[in-house]
Amino acid sequence: MVEHQLRRRGIADTRVLTAMGEVPRETFVPDAQKRDAYVDGALPLSHGQTISQPLMVAMSVEALQLQGDETVLEIGAGSGYQAAVLATIVARVYSIELIGDLGRQAAAALSAAGYGNVEVRIGDGYAGWPDKAPFDGIVVTAAAPRVPEALVTQLAPGGRMVIPVGERDGAQELLLVRKREDGSIERRSVLPVRFVPLVPGGR
């Protein structure tokens, strides 16, 4: 996976490549999907959710330009796989999952696999995790119609956020949002994508 799906397609960050090589992806996919754990594509989870294609996970994590001592917020724990990749690189990961069953399963899988620097909470990703902010990096695993202002607020000066933006049935793009040291924001489109929608809490 690392050589054929990632390195040959432009992933160059050695921290990301090492983490993707170390994390056992099969631990974080449903039993029925384990034989396909390393295929070059997304895999289905319960509740209409997915575990993202390995390349998309690697691209999102690489875009954060992590150095190893950061605190990162993940919106959409899903299976826990991307949180495990992040936890292999950074000091602390906080992950929010709206769907209770998925969040509890992700937390159990991460704990069983030894990722003690990850905390999973059931909650509304649009609201972020204010009492753990600010975050050096934020990675969002579902598409929002626009960038949630609460997440921008919780980004530390110099921090980066990767988020897919767009409507469920329309065009979506992966955005890189960077908060400058003076608090101003710059946004850059990375590439067109297709993600499941980021659902607000209470819906």
Domain membership of residue 49 (yes or no) is yes
Q: What is the pLDDT of residues 67-116, one digit of tens each?
A: 999 999 999 999 999 999 999 999 999 999 999 999 999 999 999 999 99
**How many C-beta atoms surround the C-beta of residue 176 within 10 A?**
17
Domain of 53: which CATH number? 3.40.50.150
User: Per residue in 20-32, pLDDT tens?
Assistant: 999 999 999 989 8
Assess if residue 199 is contained within a domain. no
Q: Is 202 among the domain residues?
A: no
Summarize pLDDT for 18-67 with one digit per residue, the tens: 999 999 999 999 898 899 999 999 899 998 888 999 999 999 999 999 99
Buried (b) or exposed (e) across 103-123, using 16+ Cβ within 10 A?
bebbbebbeebebebbebebb
pLDDT band of residue 169 (cuts 50, 70, 90) is confident
**Structural domains of the chain, count:** 1
Paired tokens of 82: 């991307």
186 φ/ψ angles, rounded to the nearest 5 degrees: -120, 145
Look at residues 193, 166, 13, 169 and name the one whose alpha carbon lies nearest to residue 89.
13
pLDDT at 202 over 70: no
Query: Rg for the chain (alpha carbons), in Å?
Result: 15
In which domain, by residue range, is 170 found? 2-193
* Residue length of the chain: 203
Determine, yes or no, domain membership for 96.
yes
pLDDT at 56: 94
pLDDT, tens digit (0-9, with 9 covering 90-100), for 133-167: 999 999 999 999 999 999 999 999 999 999 999 98
What amino acid positions are annotated as catalytic residues?
52
